[in-house]
Amino acid sequence: MATLKQPSQVLTFVSPTGEASTPEIDGIVLDVIGRVADKWTMLVLEVLAQHGVQRFTRIGQLVGNISQRMLTKTLRQMEQDGFVTRTVYPEVPPRVEYQLTELGESLCAAFCSVWTWAETHQVELKALREARDRYTTTTL
Amino acid sequence: MATLKQPSQVLTFVSPTGEASTPEIDGIVLDVIGRVADKWTMLVLEVLAQHGVQRFTRIGQLVGNISQRMLTKTLRQMEQDGFVTRTVYPEVPPRVEYQLTELGESLCAAFCSVWTWAETHQVELKALREARDRYTTTTL
DNA sequence: CTGTATCCACCGGGATACTG
DNA sequence: CAGTATCCCGGTGGATACAG
């Protein structure tokens, strides 16, 4: 983001020289977060971390309900970002194996705390959601 | 090494019959991840964590390019999820303040490692991307 | 100031069909 | 097996206008 594009009337107020109160979040970091904060990416990351090198179809099975299209796109993106390696064996039928790179593993480790947080607070979160749902129900 | 978490009950292999018994990652956790892995949510979370209680417009400024619509939606969602509290002061002009709850702060802390990871590897990531972009010079 | 409501363009993502 | 190519629908999110 942060692309050139006259912010017509957005809340932004990027001062010319920066400074002032510009606690803007670093663009690169933000961009990285944007890529990584993808549902399928996180799931594939998880799968490869737990099961090691796997083939295309296998990953799809392990992830769960994911279409070929999304699996392909996700894996390609992850490959581009250097999170996984893609190895094609010139056989017939073809065999393609995916494996986490060290970068991918380190990312996975970083996400571990979030995953743990989700598990730790799932009861609490579920309760909150149900409480909210009770309000939202009758109002329709 | 960097395994995300122990095999626990999260992922299961496909049963011998070919039926995908429980390949899904825990629904609640996945759902939570889905909500939390939102760009704007993460940014607002970050902003509130760093700047403490803030008003609507101010949050918008601190976040950067975010439309009112998205800011409102994000804040509402976060309020529903119990990440922030919303305090309306019956004044004119109106003043509304948002503040992280303890839950929100704990989530933010969990995300800290991801944020740190992004910062730590940003050079590496940038290099990878640029290398890729050079290949993508396949004109139009 | 703090929103809500609307219109609308974009694209994420499922379903399906075809290829090497 | 491991994709690629289309169609297509619904959600995301920006722009704009209006309200309390």
> What is the maximum alpha-carbon separation in chain A?
62
The answer on pLDDT for A93 being more than 50 is yes
The average pLDDT across A95-106 equals: 96
- Do residues A100 and A48 lie in contact, with contact meaning Cβ atoms separated by under 8 Å? yes
Task: List the single residue in A with minimal CA-CA distance to B19.
Answer: A61
- Do residues B31 and A119 lie in contact, with contact meaning Cβ atoms separated by under 8 Å? no
| Backbone CA torsion sign across A84, A89, A90, A93 | negative
**Dist CA B73 CA B81 (whole Å):** 12
The answer on pLDDT for A122 being more than 90 is no
**Dist CA B25 CA B28 (whole Å):** 9
- For B47-97, the pLDDT digits (tens) are 999 999 999 999 999 988 889 999 999 999 999 889 999 999 999 999 999
Most confident of A4-13, B22-31, B111-120: B111-120
Nucleotide nearest to A56 (CA to C1'): D2
Q: Which residues pair with residue A59 across a beta bridge?
A: none
CATH of region B38-139: 1.10.10.10
- Do residues A34 and B43 lie in contact, with contact meaning Cβ atoms separated by under 8 Å? no
Give the model's pLDDT for residue A20: 37
D chain positions with any atom within 7 Å of a protein CB: 1-6, 13-17, 20
The answer on pLDDT for B98 being more than 80 is yes
Residue A70: CB less than 7 A from any atom in strand C = yes
Q: Which residue is nearest to nucleotide D4 (CA to C1')?
A: A69
Terminal-residue alpha carbon distance, chain A: 37
Give the model's pLDDT for residue A11: 38
Nearest to B64, CA basis, from A11, A125, A86: A11
The answer on pLDDT for A111 being more than 60 is yes
- Do residues B124 and A103 lie in contact, with contact meaning Cβ atoms separated by under 8 Å? yes
Domain coordinates of chain A in residue numbers?
38-139
C chain positions with any atom within 7 Å of a protein CB: 1-6, 13-17, 20
- For B111-130, the pLDDT digits (tens) are 888 888 988 998 888 888 77
